[in-house]
Chains A and B, each alone.
Chain A
């Protein structure tokens, strides 16, 4: 038999307990109020609030606190770009450092059309777990994009997708926070300056014949691009050409000579229109 008192009593007691604690907390929040530096909340307000952690601090709150109290630089927020850096600098009353906007870029062309898939992987569909199976990748090339979309999962800006077995970056959504780069087990993603056009689209450190065996679009380390470059921006490290973006003039001389066709214009059309 359920009595009215049997229900009302507990509700009353718990309710008054809750009320008492609530009152205590309300009192404490006034009594023990600590003035927070108003610059922290101001900076926090203009930060994007995606909590991507690209700045190296735990979330936007942490970064705002870091700028005011720990002397963090004002240009660490990749998502906000240079406008935000200026805003933070003006709140802090300091001369802002400019920040070169960057975007994520996939150093791999090895879709199934160019590179054979070795195995039919049936484990957890996550590159980080696929990368620890023997061989380092279900694909024949252990350096290339696995294409299980770990980067897609970690991107809080929704800038990535998997198209034809490769990570595809939407340049209009990518803010260059670097979360995907940090989570890619193959390190096949990298950050490049937003204005950079000509890039090497391969990540393989193997020698030429080995690369040719597994992928028809990989860098064979022939070094023709190094000679073709007028400004000396290309170096060959461990059988892989790499372009120094600070020297590169995006002339395309290397791309024209590359026998493997793994150097080329990689700037998406959306960016070219705005550039």
Chain B
């Protein structure tokens, strides 16, 4: 049962974007169209789950036995960068359709701090392999949820003529992001 709560908690209560404020760059950068936002979100789910599993293995099977835990940042970045490259190569071969739909977002995710953030959270919380994977799945689905909501709102704002011109574009997007974050704060405390 606790796995279910962990999953729901990582989507809503500890939303990676709106509560933990990780991955804000793509959140603002690729949220102008809901189509591309969806692509980004799906790519993030894909990479985050894989990265969480691999980083868990590297941390617990390599770094901990050798007492080199302090190397986690460096090795996690290494893992994520290599993994993204690897996934890109494999996808290009075995699933060109998915590769095409993820497009430019796949390589961009290498520098998405949400991916690294989830790996580090898993480590700090001492999650098991299963819990890590579930937390990664939930967190990245939370990312998808937040970025798609944001894109939907921004698409509507785009056509709203009541907004003063000086707020057009990024300023109003930042205000929106703040309000969304406040809204998500409403979930806090529901699940511990």
| A34 B74 Cβ-Cβ under 8 A | no
Known contacts A14-B78, A132-B165; A32 and B92 CB within 8 A of each other: yes
| B89 A32 Cβ-Cβ under 8 A | yes
Interface residues on A, range: 10 to 19
Query: Does A72 make an interface contact (CB < 8 A)?
Result: no
> Which of the candidate stretches A18-26, A98-106, A236-244, A267-275 sits at the interface with the other chain?
A18-26
Query: Does A224 make an interface contact (CB < 8 A)?
Result: no
B109 CB to closest chain A CB, in angstroms? 16
A102 CB to closest chain B CB, in angstroms? 29
| B62 A17 Cβ-Cβ under 8 A | yes
- A21, A32, A34: which contacts B79 (Cβ < 8 A)? A21
Query: Does A4 make an interface contact (CB < 8 A)?
Result: no
> Could you tell me the dominant secondary structure of chain A's interface residues?
helix
- B62, B82, B92: which contacts A13 (Cβ < 8 A)? B62
Contacts of B96 in A (CB 8 A): 34
Query: Does B156 make an interface contact (CB < 8 A)?
Result: no
**A-B Cβ contacts below 8 A, count:** 45
Distance, CA A24 to CA B75, complexed state (A): 16
B78 CB to closest chain A CB, in angstroms? 6
- Which chain B residue shows the least CB distance to A33? B93
Distance, CA A24 to CA B166, complexed state (A): 50
- B71, B85, B86, B92: which contacts A34 (Cβ < 8 A)? B92
Could you list which residues of chain A lie within 8 angstroms of chain B, going by C-beta atoms?
A: 9-10, 13-14, 17-18, 21-22, 24-25, 28-29, 32-34, 58, 132
Could you list which residues of chain B lie within 8 angstroms of chain A, going by C-beta atoms?
A: 58, 62-63, 66, 68, 71, 74-75, 78-79, 82, 85-86, 89-90, 92-94, 96, 104, 165-166
Other than A13-B62, A18-B78, give 16 A-B pairs with Cβ distance below 8 A. Answer: A10-B68, A13-B63, A13-B66, A14-B71, A14-B75, A14-B78, A21-B82, A22-B82, A24-B86, A28-B86, A28-B89, A28-B90, A32-B94, A34-B92, A34-B93, A132-B165
